[in-house]
Structure formats: C-alpha cells, structure tokens
Amino acid sequence: MHFPFDLSKPIAVGSDHAGYDYKEELISFLEGKGFPFIDFGTNNKDSVDYPDFAHPVATAVESGQASFGILLCGSANGVAITANKHQGVRAAICWGEELAQLARAHNNANIICIPARFVREGDAEKMVNIFMSTAFEGGRHSRRVEKMACSH
C-alpha cells in the first residue's frame, strides 16, 4: 500500500476524555502496523478541555514534526475548530470512510477529526487507514486549497 504521507515522521494523536477509548484503539492499530506516533493525551477518561490536546497535535503537524494528525472528541467539532486555527492545518471531521477519502483527495486534509460518540467501533481504524493512504488529487482542488489560508 502506498502512503502519501512521510511515515518516517510520527503521526500526532490526541483526544479529550470522550475520544479516549478510540484513541487507545487507534494507537494499538498504529503500533500493530509499525507506524511511529506521538500520543499527546489525554491519558484517561477524566474530564478535560479538548484544546489542551488539539493545539499540540496541530502544532506538530504545522511544524512538520508529525506527518499528519488524528484528533478525537465527542463530536469532533471542538478539536477541528481548534486545530484549524493553525496556519497550514486542514483538519477535517470524518464520520465515514467516504468522508475520510474525500478529505484527503479533495481538501488535502492533514488532520482527521473523528467524532467518537458518532462512529462505531472499528470504523475509526478504517477511516484512519483510508485517510493515510489517500493521495491529494491536486488539479482543480489545488486552486481551492490554496485559497483556504487567511491573508491578513
């Protein structure tokens, strides 16, 4: 399988308490495939604030420290909104396999945001696998992605 991301760099992973169980499952999935990762937390199910985990993941992606990012929270809205504050980050909420594929192919997303309360067990792994193996199509989509950044 071809991966468009530089997987010699780690994958940045983070979640709040609502996404904790799926984060742990995804870490096991990544370990099983031999992919390097950085776990930015949280490390248990105690209530926490999602920006405390979304910002470090987005910073790692933005700086090039990480190849791409995976964020989870209850709805994925909070982590996506937070991550998208970072220049160069394109965080996409995905709750299905086709959305994960389109986020990469059409939007060149570099962080997948998964709504833990709205996906079934096993679906997160499928979406991450599709996300990390789908290349950006470029072409007409390049023009659109180039227009995303704010120019102050």
Beta strands 69-73 and 37-39, pairing class: unpaired
Does residue 2 carry a catalytic annotation?
no
- Please name the residue ranges forming H helices in 6-149: 20-33, 51-63, 77-83, 97-105, 123-133, 140-146
Q: How many angstroms separate the most distant Cα atoms in the chain?
A: 45
Catalytic residue among 2, 86, 106, 152: 106
Which of 8, 111, 94, 118 lies closest to 56, judged by CA? 111
Residues 6+ apart with CB under 8 A from 33: none
Measured distance between the N- and C-terminal CA atoms of the chain, rounded to whole angstroms: 40
Supply 44's token pair: 């248990």
User: Which residues carry out catalysis?
Assistant: 106
